[in-house]
Amino acid sequence: MLKLVKKSAFISLGLAAMSATAVRRYGQKLAKEGKLSEEEGQKLVDDLLKQSKKSKADLKNNINKSVKESVVEMDLATKSDITRVNTRLTRIEKSISGKAKPKTKSKAKK
C-alpha cells in the first residue's frame, strides 16, 4: 500500500513538472505502447492533462502553505505587518509635525 502511495505521489509530481505538450506526448506514447484505440488514447491524454493540472494546483497550494508556516515559525514580518507599521508611523509623523510647528496668528499691520 505504501509503495502505491509513493508511486502515485511521484507520478503526480512528475505530471506537475511536465508541460501540457509533454503530457500529451507522454499520453500518446503510452497509448501506442498499450495499443489503445484512438478514443481510449485521447481519454488517457485527457485524464493525464487533468491530473497534471490538479497536481500543479496541489503542489502550489502545498508550497504556499509550507511557506506561510515557515514565515510564522521564523516570526518574520508579513506584508500586512509592515503596512500596519507604516500606517501607524505616518499617523505619528503627522501628529509630531503638527505639534512641532506652533500655529501663529497673523496680526494685521495698522
Q: So what's the pLDDT on residue 41?
A: 74
Q: Can you read off the three cell numbers belonging to residue 37? A: 484505440
Band (84; pLDDT cuts 50, 70, 90): very high
CA distance 95 to 105: 20
CA distances from 61 to 53, 57, 68, 84 (A): 12, 6, 11, 26
Q: What's the count of helices (H) and strands (E) in the chain, helices before strands?
A: 4, 0
Residue 13 has pLDDT above 70, yes or no: no
Provide the residue ranges of all domains of the chain, joining segments of one domain with +. 6-68
Q: So what's the pLDDT on residue 15?
A: 64
Q: So what's the pLDDT on residue 81?
A: 93
- Which backbone phi and psi does 35 adopt, to 5 degrees? 50, 50
**pLDDT tens profile 68-81:** 888 888 898 889 99
Round the average pLDDT of the chain to a whole number and report it.
Answer: 77
Q: What share of the chain is helix, strand, coil (3-state, %, to 5)?
A: 80, 0, 20
